[in-house]
Amino acid sequence: MRPGFLLGEIGNGLRRNVSMVVSVVLVTMVSLFFLGIGLLAQQQVSTAKGYWYDRVQVSIFLCTPDSTDVASCAGGAVTQDQRDQIAADLEGLDPLVAEVYYESNADAYERFREQFRNSPVLDSIPQEAIPESFRVNLSDPSRYEVIRQAFEQAPGVESVEDQREVVDKLFTFLGVLSVGALALAVAMVACAVLLISTTIRLTAWSRRRETAIQRMVGASAFSIYLPFILETVLATLLGAGLAIALLWGTVRFGITGFLSELLAGESGLISLVGERDLWLITPFLVGGALLLAVLTAWTALRRHVRV
């Protein structure tokens, strides 16, 4: 089959089934968009984990005059000796303890006032109620338990908290979002497969005379199938192109533009997925869509077109 004739056959096929072709384009676009969102959300979790885990600290809060209900704070506020002992013990845990930062009561109160500047209860909290603390960066954040066991019951220590527990809740939320998007994508991909199969069936029916003649005069199965497959590939490519454009718009204007600026203004510490992450998944999205389209078309053709 010569290229000119093949293009003509493809053009005829697309014209005859324009509504079905548009459906394939749209369903492919929506399914790939959700697949892309799911993959980007997973990428976001992974990026944010790496970013935050490098920054999150284990906080060793020291006793305040009010924390006498904790056994290790029975003597009231932490003493200078207890403070020195804790600092020495932390030094002894090198290399697990990579860095130690001491936050005094005054610093902690200042940070508290900044964080809760709009809260009506701000003035009712006295400075003594805000605990001083040691902020500890670990060389291996997963070994938080070592610090907890070493300091939880130590004299002068009110509590030991791992900030990872807080950010993990955020990651779990993002993870659920990404799984939801991927589940939706799987459902949409199933729709795309069924729609391609139905489109092939209808196209084959509308072109049954042509295919019967092709078969009768000795065209090979491959050359009979080829226009159908290329039509499906074209529609899928168009859908994939639109999905990538939509994802790019979402990343460019929604995440890099709007969300990134919004969050950066709040915390100053944020790392979001960007266009580079989109370009990384693009070959897999397009390649996967093409592979699925060709396989679905080939299977449907074997079922609905006699050769």
Partner 1 sequence: MITLEHVSLRYTKGDPWALQDVDLDVTRGEFCFVVGQSGSGKSSLLRLVIVENAPTLGRVLVAGHDLGQLPRRRVHVLRCQIGTVFQDFRLLSGKTVSQNVAYVLQVLGAPGHEIRQRVPETLALVGLENKGKRLPHELSGGEQQRVAIARAMVNKPPILLADEPTGNLDPDTSAEIVAILERINRSGTTVLMATHDTTIVDQFRKRVVQLHEGRVVRDQAEGGYREVVRS
Site for partner 1 in 3-32 (CB under 8 A): 5
Residue 205 sits in the site that holds partner 1 (CB under 8 A): no
C-beta of 19: minimal distance to partner 1 in Å? Answer: 19
C-beta of 216: minimal distance to partner 1 in Å? Answer: 5
Query: Are the CB atoms for 272 and 259 separated by under 8 Å?
Result: yes
User: Helix or strand or coil: residue 60?
Assistant: strand
CA distance 305 to 298: 10
Residue 2 sits in the site that holds partner 1 (CB under 8 A): yes
Beta strands, E only, the chain: 58-62, 97-103, 133-138, 157-162
Site for partner 1 in 223-262 (CB under 8 A): 223
Torsion of Cα atoms, 34 then 242 then 197 then 194, to 10°? 20
Nearer to partner 1, 151 or 228 (CB): 228
Stretch of 33-41, 212-220, 234-242, 265-273 contacting partner 1, by CB under 8 A: 212-220
Q: Which of 89, 107, 152, 210 lies at the binding interface for partner 1 (CB under 8 A)?
A: 210
Q: Which of 51, 215, 259, 288 lies at the binding interface for partner 1 (CB under 8 A)?
A: 215
Residue 213 sits in the site that holds partner 1 (CB under 8 A): yes
**Would you say how long the chain is, in residues?**
307
Q: Which of 88, 114, 142, 209 lies at the binding interface for partner 1 (CB under 8 A)?
A: 209
DSSP labels for 105-160? HHHHHHHHHHHTTT-TTGGGS-GGGSPPEEEEEESSGGGHHHHHHHHTTSTTEEEE
Check whether the bond before 95 is cis (ω within 30° of 0): yes
Q: Which of 125, 154, 221, 270 lies at the binding interface for partner 1 (CB under 8 A)?
A: 221
Residues at the interface with partner 1 (CB under 8 A): 1-2, 5, 209-210, 212-221, 223, 307
